[in-house]
Structure 1
Amino acid sequence: MTQSKADRLAQQIKSRGLVESREPGNSKPVFRKPGFRGVQDFGALENARASSVRRERKAAGLSRETLADMVGIAEQVYARYERAASHLTATRLIHLCELLAIEPTRLLHDVAPHLWGATKEEADNRTKLALLLRDVPADVLPSLIDIVMRLTPAPSHRGEAPDLEGDEA
């Protein structure tokens, strides 16, 4: 007997620990993974992202005008990103990370730390470790991968390092 579409959806939602949420302008329910403070609406996520981008720009010692010029957009357009009045595309986020010399992990952790761990402390520690890896000498990385694989429970990596497809950037 085949499962109905609704049964398959319900099974996937449950197995992933998702909860139903509503978003303005969308008549259908959306399913989200709750964070440490429950499910934040998309507006709260955009505000956190905007604050993070603004903080990183200031830490880099750049004015909004200078960064906007580097991005190739008007300062007023860029300012909307920092006010959460406009959504950043993934490609624009990557571009900003290039210009600010930061890891996307840093910005994404600020917005959704629950994606990195079950508790805030665990999420912060995993993110700190990921950021530290950037400065590990390239010739040490294979040995470090072997060490981490030995420390990682087998089901998560099945004896092999994760394969990264499409990494020809």
Structure 2
Amino acid sequence: MRLHTAVLRILLVTVLAGALIACGLLYLVSLEAVARWPELAGWRLPVYLGIVAGLLPAVAVAVCGFRFLALVDLGEAFSDRTVHLFRRMRMLLVVVAAWFAVGFVGFWAGTGLMHVTLVLSWCAVEVAALLGIGLLALFEGLFAGAARLRRDAGLVPAGGAGTIRARDPHIPFA
């Protein structure tokens, strides 16, 4: 494991821990909101579970990040597997953005309530997801071109290490 990939792994673990802590804090905030607005008591659990369910694809993106770092450590950053990982991460972020857009509209339509903090929170999630989608599309194209050049230059044989589909013991969560 190289130093720069180790630092990125620590960052990914920190992000995952932060998401877990945020889920716990969100539960506490939902209890406080019900105490303040009892008419929303029926919406507390569905909204909480919807937000937590929306975070699951984001956790899957982090797992793909661990896989990518393992490929970098193996010297296979410019491979078909990397392009596939970027495509998978991009699609997962599309799911996150769509999930929260539908949830936002559903909550608004179901309760008839809207507040500027809800709009700003939703905008922050959507902007982050759309930025991630754009960056991953860019990286996917760059890495696909690099993988194609690598194959064309004969640096890896056809069906080489970058196209293995069997389980690799060096790649966690594969």
Structure with the higher fraction of residues in helix conformation: 2
- Larger relative contact order (Cα-Cα within 8 Å, sequence gap ≥ 6): 2
TM superposition score category, shorter chain reference = under 0.3
Q: TM-score, normalised by structure 1?
A: 0.26
